[in-house]
Structure 1
Amino acid sequence: MNIKLAETPQEKELAFHVRTVVFVEEQKVPPEEELDHHDETAIHFICYQGETPIAASRLRFVDEYGKLERICVLKEERGKSHGAQLIQAMEAEILHNGYTKAKLNAQTHAENFYKRLGYETVSGEFLDAGIPHVTMIKKLT
């Protein structure tokens, strides 16, 4: 698997396509909630298996945190450690930008996945796009 920053308009469109498949088509998130104004300024990641885009995410810097967002892996590629590798790439980018703390809002079904990667739950459950979430943080080293 190859993870890279989506820098060209074409790469960003591929990242948006993966997000649309996972969040809009599979999880029924309204398109206007999935693709938002933060996409214009966020750092986007795209993961390829060969030439095929299989995972995507975005990163923003909010307060003292690198905020990991829109992390998704296509259904047929889940369970192969792609998500963990994507998180590691995002954490490296956070450190590269001079930040030492990461934050994310995890869907509750993925909470244990993030705990295994060192994230700690710091909120109660809340709904985002009708899906239960919790806020999680991690100190990066």
Structure 2
Amino acid sequence: MFEYVFINMDNPLYQQAVDLRYRIFFRPWNIKQEIIFDSYEDTAIHMICLTGGKVNGYARLNYEGQEAILSQIVVDEECRNQGLGSELVKRLVDKARLDKKDRVTLSAKVEATKFYEKFAFVVTGDSFSSPKTGLPHIKMILQL
């Protein structure tokens, strides 16, 4: 059974979350791990999904005024297609709603737009190259 937990950067499980994000998002493109520590990291609300002490999924949420920014949603390859990513998105959207934000935005990989559309996110604008990886992304928004 998977457990979903909010953590801070002092939590021992935080490093596992960093390692998971790096392994999936950045190492395949030979990008240094330091890229994870961007301007959002220190102020983010970090959520992990774990089982047996192992971090299997992660997502973070940041606030800028009435906007909630969802980012770095990742699930370990061994745990995909079990609803972990969906649960992370749902829980962080619920957190934004609870905190009375007006909208949630994210930058999705173009091929992941259908996943986010299941939660009523809509595409806004044209695709662009991610400044971190160069991969095509597109901005999406969910009005709360």
Identity fraction in percent: 24
By how many angstroms is 1:92 displaced?
Answer: 1.3
By how many angstroms is 1:85 displaced?
Answer: 0.4
Instruction: From the superposition, tell whether residues 116 and 53 of structure 1 become closer, same or farther in structure 2 (CA, over 3 Å).
Output: same
Provide the alpha-carbon RMSD of the alignment.
1.6
Q: Describe the superposition over 1:84-123 as per-residue Cα deviations: whole angstroms up to 9, x where unpaired.
A: 0000110111112221311100011111111112110002
Identify unmatched segments of 5+ residues in structure 1. Answer: none
Q: TM-score, normalised by structure 1?
A: 0.90
Counterpart amino acid of residue 53 in structure 1 = V
Q: Describe the superposition over 1:2-55 as per-residue Cα deviations: whole angstroms up to 9, x where unpaired.
A: 111113431322221221121123455442333323211111111112322100
Identify unmatched segments of 5+ residues in structure 2. Answer: none
Instruction: From the superposition, tell whether residues 125 and 32 of structure 1 become closer, same or farther in structure 2 (CA, over 3 Å).
Output: same
Q: Which moved more, 1:80-89 or 1:34-43?
A: 34-43
Quote the Cα distance in structure 2 between the aligned partners of 1:27 and 1:49: 28
- Following TM superposition, the consecutive aligned residue runs of length 4 or more in structure 1 with deviations greater than 6 angstroms are none
Conserved? CA contact 1:47–1:56, under 8 Å:
yes
Aligned position for 1:2: 3
Quote the Cα distance in structure 2 between the aligned partners of 1:136 and 1:102: 8
Aligned position for 2:51: 49
Q: Which has the higher helix share?
A: 1
Q: Which moved more, 1:55-64 or 1:7-16?
A: 7-16
By how many angstroms is 1:76 displaced?
Answer: 1.5
Conserved? CA contact 2:20–2:76, under 8 Å:
yes
SS of the aligned residue for 1:32 comes to helix
SS of the aligned residue for 1:91 comes to helix
Aligned position for 1:92: 94
